[in-house]
Amino acid sequence: DETNLSDQPILAYQPEFEHRYLRRLSIIAELKTALQEQQDELSLFYQPKLDLKTGRVTKVEALIRWNNAILGFVSPDDFISVAEQAGFIGKITDWVINQAIKDAVTLRNAGIEMSIAINLSAKDVMDQSLLPHLSLLMETSQLSSKALSFEMTESDLVQEPVKAIQQLQAFRDRGFEIAIDDFGTGYSSMAYLKHLPVTTLKVDKSFVLSLDSQQGDQKIVQTVIELAHSFGLNVVAEGIESQATLLLLKKWGCEFAQGYYMCKPIPFDDLITWQNTHQLTNWFEQDA
């Protein structure tokens, strides 16, 4: 509390500072090595998005996983921001894009219609060379623009709004769908949203996790769905952990749902098995 704080000089030695600093340094060093060498430390997991109109899954989100010999399993929430600050997020994005394209080709060749959403960071959005690079890779693999889509947060876009809009428009012109991720947690204005060339809003999971019991969250999510629709945008809700939540979202006209209730993020090989097993599952019935 406050009394304790004022007792201590601000720069007093604090073991947890040193610990955090050292952990950051090892994350940077280990991650750079993992990206350079083919050590199989990094992998892409996939989480299905359920189409609430058809009850089928034709979209997934790619989520990076990192298992390091020294640090163990490190969450992307911990290492993505470190890589952003240390200036090599582009290397991670390249790795993710290459892996996602390989997996998209496998899906296409297996005759499975499944679009993969890739998370981008602020630096990626502003990187002029990303889209030409991506286009070339997709042409080489003969993938249509429907095979991939992109997610980015509001805060990634508001730093340089005019340039962000130009960059997003270039992605749209190339045929890619774009979602604003974690919608509701940032602070972009409605006026700005009007100008954003995006196709989708993703409601942040903090409003969805307890949706079945929280009246306040219910009002927020209903309002976001109405707002999105009035702008002609689709809505994806993330963090669905119960059937009651799923049914509310369906009732309110939300287009897609993603969450542990249907499926946690899983390795690519398990995705095809999951898809086969759940092709006929009725998620809206009593015992899905």
3-state secondary structure 119-174: ECCHHHHHCCCHHHHHHHHHHHCCCCHHHEEEEEEHHHHHCCHHHHHHHHHHHHHC
| Binder among 124, 156, 181, 217 for Mg ion (CB under 5 A) | 181
Q: Which of residues 140-169 bind ligand C2E (CB under 6 A)?
A: 151
Q: How many residues bind ligand C2E (CB under 6 A)?
A: 23
d(CA 45, CA 107): 14
In 3D, which of 1, 16, 117 has the Cα closest to residue 59?
A: 117
Q: Which does 96 bind (CB under 5 to 8 A by kind): Mg ion, ligand C2E, none?
A: ligand C2E
Contact with ligand C2E (CB under 6 A) among 198, 239, 245, 255 = 239
Here the tokens at position 168 are 């997003």
Backbone angle region of 282, left / alpha / beta, with phi > 0 → left and psi within -120 to 50 → alpha:
beta
Which of 23, 205, 229, 278 touches ligand C2E by CB under 6 A? 205
Q: How far is the CB of 283 from ligand C2E (least distance, A)?
A: 13
Q: Mark 242-261 with x for binding to ligand C2E (rule: CB under 6 A) and - for no binding.
A: ----------------xxx-
Place of tokens 């809505």: 235
Candidates 265, 268, 271, 283: give the one binding ligand C2E (CB under 6 A).
Answer: 265
As a whole number of angstroms, the distance between CA 100 and CA 189 comes to 32
Note whether 217 binds ligand C2E by CB under 6 A: no
Closest to ligand C2E by CB, 13 or 249: 249
Instruction: Return the number of the residue (95 or 281) whose C-beta is nearest Mg ion.
Output: 95
The nearest distance, CB 226 to ligand C2E, in angstroms, is: 22
Distance between CA 127 and CA 201 in Å, rounded? 22
Residue 181 lies near ligand C2E (rule: CB under 6 A): yes
Told to check if 149 binds Mg ion by CB under 5 A, we report no
Helices and strands per DSSP (H, E), number in the chain: 12, 10
List residues binding ligand C2E (CB under 6 A). Answer: 47, 63-64, 75-77, 80, 96, 119-121, 151, 181-182, 205, 238-241, 258-260, 265
